[in-house]
Structure 1
């Protein structure tokens, strides 16, 4: 596939620092918007939600890397770790805004985690992402060996929980959260190795 080869060749020339810079560029802009009233009448809530949505988008992008290579021949594997770590960064910022600027106390945060299902699910997703972020260094990959791949399969349930968190957070059945969850499930299905159809 010439197009896939061209995209893969172009991707090899993109420096990783550029991916990180582009990935983190929205952070100062969102903070500025929140501070100057650009995020509406509820700037903290809007900031919190936007950070979480960006984290989910980047998590979906990281899940798409393997299906793109397997089914379309587009090789973006060198970006997968950066995408995953950027996703974790935005999820951590989403959680930090909620903790520091919304609930403000650990006691209230604990109550909300136990009482509100969407927060319970979201926190479970974050907990699953923690060991992935902690073992994303080259040293951890070498040290864990084959166990590293097994550990990083936690990204799959974490993504599903993240999508479910968004669906539960939305008031009523809204299209965007459902579309995110559907995309996650479709990408996980695309990673499966289906048995070849039997020939008649």
Structure 2
């Protein structure tokens, strides 16, 4: 048995033993910590802007982690499928916090919110991504899966568009084509393209 197979089987056994609530708890902790840093001066001279950025980045990272689960299973035989719901809900948790910080702490004035959504393309794109994720979060439960049947899978394919829009939003927020958002956009592009690649048969332990 090769080292690659041994490592893969070890990862799959560890994943089977890990309770999903651990992912929820550990995944949710950076949010309160970011707020604490903002309140105590740990986010620099522009804490609201830094808090928005941190929460939005966490959301994008969890979206990408969820997007990576299928390619990992298809091409490496690493089965983390049981954590996909948790990753998706954590992504929505951070998207919601990101939006609330923008609404309540940054903009504050309702009339200006609508003006910014219409006027600024990067905000428009971010709002579309949020609206796409909203029904996915609301139907990420066993009852919805049973009720919607095959339509549930079709509905949840909207996550591909949402994560692409979220990464474009990140590029546009960080003006001047900075390297970090381009790396995230490139990673999203690669993960989406991998879904079109021919299937490789890998035994999943």
Distance 2:119 2:137 in 1: 27
Q: What residue in structure 2 maps to residue 38 of structure 1?
A: 42
Cα RMSD after superposing both structures:
1.1
Which of 115, 120, 123 does residue 124 from structure 2 map onto? 120
- Partner of 1:173, secondary structure, is coil
Q: Deviation string for 1:100-157 (max 9, x for gaps)? A: 0011122111000000011011011001001100100100001101000000000000
List gaps (5 residues or longer) in structure 1. Answer: none
**1:186 maps to 2:202:** no
Which of 48, 51, 58 does residue 54 from structure 1 map onto? 58
Give the ranges of 4+ consecutive aligned residues of structure 1 lying more than 2 Å apart after TM superposition. 193-196
Which of 17, 22, 38 does residue 13 from structure 1 map onto? 17
What does 1:1-200 correspond to in 2, within 5 Å? 1-194=5-198
TM superposition shift of 1:16 = 1.1
Q: What TM-score, normalized by structure 1, do the two folds share? A: 0.96
Distance 2:142 2:24 in 1: 17
TM superposition shift of 1:17 = 1.2
TM superposition shift of 1:193 = 4.2
Name the CA shift for 1:171/1:83 in 2 (closer, same or farther; >3 Å): same
Q: What TM-score, normalized by structure 2, do the two folds share? A: 0.93
- Partner of 2:157, secondary structure, is helix
